[in-house]
Amino acid sequence: MAEKNKNLSSETSYNIPQASQFKVGMLVSEWNHEVTDALKEGARKTLLDSGIHEANLVIKRVPGSFELPGAAVMMLEADDKMDAVICLGCVIQGETRHFEFISQAVANGIMQVGIDYNTPVIFGVLTCDTMEQALDRAGGKHGNKGVEAAVTCLKMLELERGPIKNGQI
């Protein structure tokens, strides 16, 4: 589906779950803020439109994408129990291999936090060659990957609370 449409943000068959009972954390990288702010707004609107109460949406900033996994752990271990955490960031290729190391570490770190805490921790980090590619995915011609991260979060919460919890899978 992604190959055909190249804009999953406009896909209407998402069947987005209603989410008023959930508390969701959102971590947003300050680096490449023009991109991450757009991702945040797309995710925020999607979550609020799905029924999450503003008070149950906790948004925090982190310096860069590399800090997202550690901040996700902090958020999950905080007193206010989060049902899920969405990690939003943007890493853009430069002239050195730094991009590869950061992208790999962030992807693996976010995945590991979700596994370790048995909680949906959503990867919403763009890894692009250029700023133009990033902007195209942050509300441009390829949609808003923040919206897609929020939908993924909601579907994982629905899955966790529904069939998996009730032993149907």
* Residue 16, in any domain of the structure: no
For the chain, the helix, strand and coil percentages under 3-state DSSP, each to the nearest 5: 55, 20, 25
Joined tokens for residue 160: 């966790």
Which residue segment(s) compose the domain that 27 sits in?
22-161
Q: What positions carry a catalytic annotation?
A: 98
Q: Is residue 67 part of a domain?
A: yes
Model confidence pLDDT, tens digit, residues 126-160: 999 999 999 999 989 999 999 999 999 999 998 87
Distance, in Å, from the CA atom of 15 to the CA atom of 17, rounded to the nearest integer, reads: 6
CATH code: domain of residue 34: 3.40.50.960
Domain-embedded: residue 59? yes
- Residue pLDDT, tens place only, 55-105: 999 999 999 999 999 999 999 999 778 999 999 999 999 777 788 899 999
Residue 32: inside a domain: yes
pTM score:
0.88
In the chain, the number of structural domains is 1
